[in-house]
Amino acid sequence: MDYNIFSHSGLRLIDDKFNKRAKLDTGTFCNYECFFCYYIEDLDKVTPIEIIKERAKKLYQCGMREVDLSGGESSVHRDWFEILDYCRDLGFTNISALTNGAKFANIEFCKKSKEHGLTELLFSLHGVNEENHDSMVGRKGAFRRMLKAISNCQEIGIKVRINCTVTDKNASLLHEYVELINKIRPYQLNFLPLNYWEDANRLESQSYEHLSRYIKKAIDTLDENILINVRYIPYCFMEGYEEYVVGIYQHIYDRDDWNIYTYDVEKVEAKEIDTKEYFEVANKKRKHTYTKDKKCFGCKFFFICDGVEKKISQVQDVYPVEGEKIDDVLYFRRGKYPECEYK
C-alpha cells in the first residue's frame, strides 16, 4: 500500500465564504539572513515591479480582496510605495506585509506606508532578547528595531500580527517570549515549528516533541485575547491544544492568512473557486511536503492531520491517538468558524 496517499475522500467538504486574502510574492530580495530562510541562496535577486503588478492583477481577478505582500522583505523593494499604490488602486481593501521590521523602525516610513495603503503588518519576531533574536536573523540591532517598529505601527494604527519560528535556538525561552508578547498585545501570534521548504531543506531535523512541549507551555500563559495558531505540526503532538493547530486543510478556512488556492498565482485561472478545487490544491500540497507512518492509519486524526514533513520522516516518531476518525477539518476550530456548513 502507498502510505504517501493523502486523499480527502474521507473528509466531509465544508461550504464557507472562503478567505479572500492572497499572498503577493514580491521576490526573494532581503536585507536579513535568517538561518532558516527558504530562499537563503536568492536574497540578492530583485523581482521587477511589472511582474509584481501582473501577479497582483491576477489575484484580484481571482476574486481576492485582501493581500499579503511577502518575499524576501517586501519593504526594501525599490518600488515599495508604487507596489502599495497599485494594490490600493486595484481595489484591495486590506494590504498587509510580512516583515522583519527594519524599515518600519522609522516612524516616517511607517506613516508614508500607511498613506500609500498599508493597513497591517505581520512581524517576524523570533527571539526574546537582542542576543537570541539577532542571532536567528543574522543582523545586530534587529531586535531593537523590531520593537520600535511594532511600537510605531501601534501608535499610528497599523494592525500588528506576529510570527514566531520555533527552533532549538528559542524553544526553551518561549516562557519569557510570552511575557514580551503579552506586553505587546498583537492581534495574533503564529507559532511556526521549523519547516524544511525550499532552501531550508538543508537544516538539521528538529524534534516535534521538543518544540511542542514549549509551545504548549507558552500557550498556557498567553493573553486570552490574542488569537493563536500553531502551524506545521502533527496533531498527536498537540493533544489538549488541538484547537490551535492549522494544517493544510484547516488553512483553507483561515481568514487571517493567505489563500492556499492562489499561493502559486501563475498556475491558477482567474475565476471563482469552489470547495472541491480548494481541497484538490491542498491535497497536492500535502503529497509534495508530508508523509505518514503506517501507524498513522489507526489514528483518529488521520484525515485532518498533515503528517510529518518528508525531510524528517526517517528520524521523527509519531504517537497515534486511538478513537473514531474525525472527518471534519474544523472539528477543533468550530468555535472560530461556527457558520461553516457541510456540503
Q: H-helix or E-strand containing 199?
A: none
The predicted-structure confidence for 46-60, as pLDDT tens digits, reads as follows 999 999 999 999 999
DSSP string of 266-280? GGS-SS---HHHHHH
d(CA 147, CA 123): 10
* Structural contact between residues 289 and 313, judged by C-beta atoms closer than 8 angstroms: no
Topology of 19-273 in CATH?
A: TIM Barrel (3.20.20)
Task: State the pLDDT at residue 7.
Answer: 52
* Rounded mean pLDDT, 326-336: 88
Instruction: Give mean pLDDT, residues 257-284.
Output: 84
Give the pLDDT confidence of 177-217 residue by residue, as tens digits: 999 999 999 999 999 987 765 555 666 778 999 999 999 99
What is the pLDDT of the chain when averaged over all its residues? 90
What cell was used for 56?
497582483
- Strands 308-309 and 188-193, by their bridges, are unpaired
- Closest C-alpha among 307, 321, 331, 323 to residue 5: 307
- Bond before 63 cis per omega within 30 degrees: no
pLDDT, mean of residues 66-86: 96
Distance CA 213, CA 17 (A): 35
Cβ-proximal residues to 38 (8 Å cutoff; 6+ apart), any chain: 197, 198, 199, 200
Q: In the prediction, which pLDDT does 239 show? A: 94
Among candidates 252, 243, 255, which has minimal Cα distance to 283?
252
275 or 343, which is more confident: 275
Which of the residue ranges 1-10, 119-128, 245-254, 271-280 has the most confident prediction, judged by mean pLDDT?
119-128
The secondary structure of 97-158 as a DSSP string is EEE-STGGGSHHHHHHHHHTT--EEEEE---SSHHHHHHHHT-TTHHHHHHHHHHHHHHHT-
Percent of the chain at pLDDT exceeding 90: 66
Task: Write the pLDDT tens digit of every residue in 12-71.
Answer: 777 766 678 999 999 999 988 888 787 778 788 899 999 999 999 999 998 899 999 998
Which pLDDT score, from 0 to 100, does residue 117 have? Answer: 98
Write b or e for each residue in 46-66: b if 16 or more Cβ atoms lie within 10 A of its Cβ, otherwise e: ebebeebbebbebbbebbbeb
Predicted confidence at residue 263, as pLDDT, reads: 86
Residue located via cell numbers 537582542: 130
According to the model, what pLDDT value does residue 124 have?
Answer: 96
Q: What is the pLDDT of residue 270?
A: 79
Q: What does the angle CA 233 – CA 255 – CA 153 come to, to the nearest 5 degrees?
A: 95
To the question of pTM greater than 0.85 for the whole model, the response is yes
Q: Would you give the end-to-end CA distance of the chain in angstroms?
A: 30
96 phi, psi to nearest 5 deg: -115, 170
User: Using only C-alpha atoms, what is the Rg of the chain?
Assistant: 20
3-state secondary structure of 227: strand
278-316 pLDDT, tens per residue? Answer: 888 888 888 888 999 999 999 999 999 999 998 888 899
